[in-house]
Amino acid sequence: MDVRLDGRVALITGGSRGIGLAIAQEMAASGAGVMISSRKADALEAAVATLDGEGAWFAANAGEPAEAEACVAATMERFGRIDILVNNAATNPYMGKTIDIDRPRLDKTISVNWAGPLLWTQLAWQAWMQEHGGSVLNIASIGGLSVETSIGAYNATKAALLHLTRTLAAELAPGVRVNAIAPGLVKTDMARALWEPNEAAIAKMMPMARLGEPADIAHAAVFLASDQASWITGTTTVIDGGALLR
């Protein structure tokens, strides 16, 4: 299947590395204009240089409303439209039992992982999608479908994001489709503490006998944003190498 995004514009948060960058690269290669956003300008500049197509960047903290608004405005000024929004930015400032988390780190986790996607979707809706339609893709986690006591607060925000996906899919249909991807353990910098010390042992426990790569998520993201997925909304696509089968 030749999945194309010609003439579309994608705005991707957390787009300077890992899954976000892989999605940006795949969408650009499929013909979309791509705006990537994250906090650090130098990382964004380097990331845009890897895109095979039309790309731009804007530095913004995904959890800060004023910066999100400025990024959406910059995307409209640069490209004139926002057809695809990928809410990929996430944070996990706390490792440990949820019962012990302090309020500042809890607030930061909620702000970026749940309130952020809602905010960016509101802004994209107001700027373009309400009148012209579009596709929103939320990058969640299989942690939102399971229990891990070491990252329970993070997983709770991902569970909330999955519910938000279904809610917005119902509210914004039929013009805007809203879907989620729930990755398993993917070899990214953010997840390095989880996989790097025990990669071989973890892979042995996986039905597919390997950890995920960012490209595994990016391929699905392009499909879900494309016309080939025009009757898909409110769904969560689990891409975890079979981890939830264990």
pLDDT in tens, 92-129: 999 999 999 999 999 999 999 999 999 999 999 999 99
Per annotation, catalytic residue among 57, 124, 154, 217: 154
* 227 contacts: CB under 8 Å, gap ≥ 6: none
- Residue 194: its pLDDT value, please? 62
Pairwise CA distance, residues 106 & 14, whole Å: 19
Least confident of 4-18, 182-196, 204-218: 182-196
Judged against a pLDDT cut of 70, whether residue 193 lies above it is answered with no
Domains held by the chain: number? 1
Whether residue 198 is contained in a domain is answered as yes
> What CATH code is carried by the domain that includes residue 43?
3.40.50.720
Whether residue 2 is contained in a domain is answered as no
Judged against a pLDDT cut of 60, whether residue 91 lies above it is answered with yes
Whether residue 1 is contained in a domain is answered as no
More confident of the two residues 198 and 107: 107
- For 17, the domain range is 9-241
94 has catalytic annotation: no
Whether residue 214 is contained in a domain is answered as yes
What does the pLDDT look like over 11-48, one tens digit per residue?
Answer: 999 999 999 999 999 999 999 999 999 999 999 999 99
Pairwise CA distance, residues 101 & 94, whole Å: 7
Q: How many other C-beta atoms lie within 10 A of the C-beta of residue 125?
A: 20
Q: Which long-range contacts (CB under 8 A, 24 or more apart) does 161-169 make?
A: 161/87, 161/113, 161/114, 161/117, 162/138, 162/236, 164/114, 164/117, 164/118, 164/138, 165/138, 165/140, 165/234, 165/236, 166/234, 168/118, 168/121, 168/136, 169/233, 169/234
Whether residue 227 is contained in a domain is answered as yes
Whether residue 231 is contained in a domain is answered as yes
- Estimate the crossing angle of helix 116-124 against helix 65-79, to 10 degrees: 30
Whether residue 161 is contained in a domain is answered as yes
Q: Which residue has the tokens 């009757």?
A: 231
Judged against a pLDDT cut of 60, whether residue 195 lies above it is answered with no
Its pTM stands at: 0.95
- Residue 196: its pLDDT value, please? 60
Q: What are 102's two structure tokens? A: 């302090």
Whether residue 4 is contained in a domain is answered as no
